[in-house]
Amino acid sequence: MTVRVFKLVTGEQLISKTTDTSEGYKLDKPAEIQLQQTDKGVGVGIAPYMPYASGDVLLHRTAIVSEGLPEVHMENEYSRVFGSGIQLTTVNSLIR
């Protein structure tokens, strides 16, 4: 399973663990990425996407404008809130 971010035709932005299917992506624990105004400028928050859906959510390819891999900090936040809690690191953070 790969964590991906999506921009949908509706303007929503999602982050989720994904599995490729012939119709699109199967999303496991999808979350919506929300921009929030803070005292220091714009911040990012994540909230459950379709929290009342039972099981995986199918995201059809026709609903996607663009997709990509999340940067490490965003994937770590998603993992902390919705996943295993395991944090990824970069090579630069290991060098002192």
Given a cut of 90, is residue 28 above it in pLDDT? yes
The percentage of the chain sitting over the pLDDT mark of 90, rounded to a whole number, equals 60
Residue 77 lies in a domain: no
Positive or negative CA dihedral for 80, 85, 91, 95? positive
pTM, 2 dp? 0.81
Is residue 7 in a domain? yes
- Residue 25: domain span: 2-70
Confidence at 43, pLDDT banded by 50, 70, 90? confident
Number of domains in the chain: 1
Q: What is the DSSP letter of 10?
A: T
Q: What is the pLDDT, as a whole number, of residue 58?
A: 97
Residue 55 lies in a domain: yes
Smallest CA-to-CA distance from 15 within 23, 7, 42, 52 is with 7
